[in-house]
Amino acid sequence: MRLSGSELECVRGGKRVFANIGFAVGAGEALLLLGPNGAGKSSLLRMVAGLLRPAAGSLELAGANCDRSLAEQAHYLGHLDPLKSSLSVGENLRFWTRFLGGGRGEGPDEALRVVGLERVGDLPAGYLSAGQRRRLSIARLVAVERPIWLLDEPASVLDADGQALLGEVMRRHLAADGLILAATHAPLGLDPARELRLGAVLP
């Protein structure tokens, strides 16, 4: 499996955020998107996830089963944690597992155990702290198996334990021939990761 993008250009609100950006990520590899705020890291991730239409350029996914679109084979972890406060922690995760699910993956209960939320499974998600909400989003990545992970500053609200957990989960995903594209400021502990710098001064 190989995800590549060529001459990608992003225009938002009439302003060009970045132009002719190219990258390629193979199975088992991680690509870190670096650069100042507003450099378009999040926009590039949303573009790969199919949530943002590129002004120019194209994205290819080679080697995966081609009956599923790129977006259907990708997990997107944005700044927001898509949880409904009045649903319980378990209900939220079970919903996303069934909605995004393809059958493979750890499943909701095991995923909750992995992220350390198994004891609060039946409490309303509204009671969770920011760190716990992020862990529940990470549980979504574990519960449903999708090869491509698009992570937008995943470690931003996590404490030390949380970041260790995230690192462990990401390493396990790469070991299983998964592929990670992550925008980050803090080091994610993925030593063999390549980097793509955005936000160079545009002409």
Partner 1 sequence: MTALAALLLRDMRLAVRVGGGALMGVLFFLLVVTMVPFGVGPDLKLLARIGPAILWIGALLATLLGLDRLLAADHDDGSLDLILMGHAPLELAVAAKALAHWLTTGLPLVIAAPLFGIFLNIDGSAIGIVALTLLVGTPALTFIGLIGAALAVALERGGLLLPVLVLPLTVPVLIFGIAAGDAAILNAAPFGAPFLILIALTLTSVVIGPVAAAAVLRHGLD
Partner 2 sequence: MEWIALANPSRFLALAERLLPWLAAATALAFAAGLYAAFFVAPEDYQQGATVRIIFIHVPGAWLGMLGWAIMSVAALGTLVWRHPLADVALKTAAPIGAAFTFVCLVTGALWGRPMWGTYWVWDARLTSVLVLFLMYLGLIALWRAIEDPARAARAAAVLTLVGAVNLPIIKFSVDWWSTLHQPASVFRVGGSTIHPAILAPLLVMALAFTLLFATLYVSAMRNEILRRRVRTLRLLQVHAAQGA
Task: Kindly give, in sequence order, each residue whose CB lies less than 8 Å from that of residue 73, ignoring residues fewer than 6 positions away.
Answer: 61, 64, 146, 147, 148
What is the Cα 93 distance to its own chain's centre? 16
Side chain identity, residue 159 = D
Output 63 or 126, the one with its CB closest to partner 2. 126
Output 18 or 96, the one with its CB closest to partner 1. 96
Q: Residue 117's binding partner, choosing from partner 2, partner 1, none, with beta-carbon cut-off 5 to 8 A by kind?
A: partner 2
**Measured from the CB of residue 114, what is the shortest distance to partner 2 in angstroms?**
13
Output 81 or 153, the one with its CB closest to partner 1. 81
**Measured from the CB of residue 25, what is the shortest distance to partner 1 in angstroms?**
18
> Alpha carbon of 88 to those of 101, 138, 178: distances in Å?
19, 16, 30
Q: Residue 49's binding partner, choosing from partner 2, partner 1, none, with beta-carbon cut-off 5 to 8 A by kind?
A: partner 1
Output 69 or 127, the one with its CB closest to partner 2. 127
Output 34 or 52, the one with its CB closest to partner 1. 52
**Measured from the CB of residue 113, what is the shortest distance to partner 2 in angstroms?**
11
Kindly write down the DSSP assignment for every residue of 50-79, as one continuous string: TSS--SEEEEEEESS-TTS-TGGGEEEE-S
**Measured from the CB of residue 120, what is the shortest distance to partner 1 in angstroms?**
18
Q: Residue 81's binding partner, choosing from partner 2, partner 1, none, with beta-carbon cut-off 5 to 8 A by kind?
A: partner 1
DSSP one-letter code for 202? P
CA atoms of 137 and 32, how far apart (whole Å): 20
**Measured from the CB of residue 195, what is the shortest distance to partner 1 in angstroms?**
25
Token digits for 172?
A: 């396990």
Token digits for 69?
A: 């679109």
CA atoms of 60 and 8, how far apart (whole Å): 12
Which residue ranges make up the site for partner 2 (CB under 8 A)?
A: 85-86, 116-117, 119-120, 123-124, 126-129, 131-132
CB 155 within 8 A of CB 188: yes
Q: Residue 57's binding partner, choosing from partner 2, partner 1, none, with beta-carbon cut-off 5 to 8 A by kind?
A: none
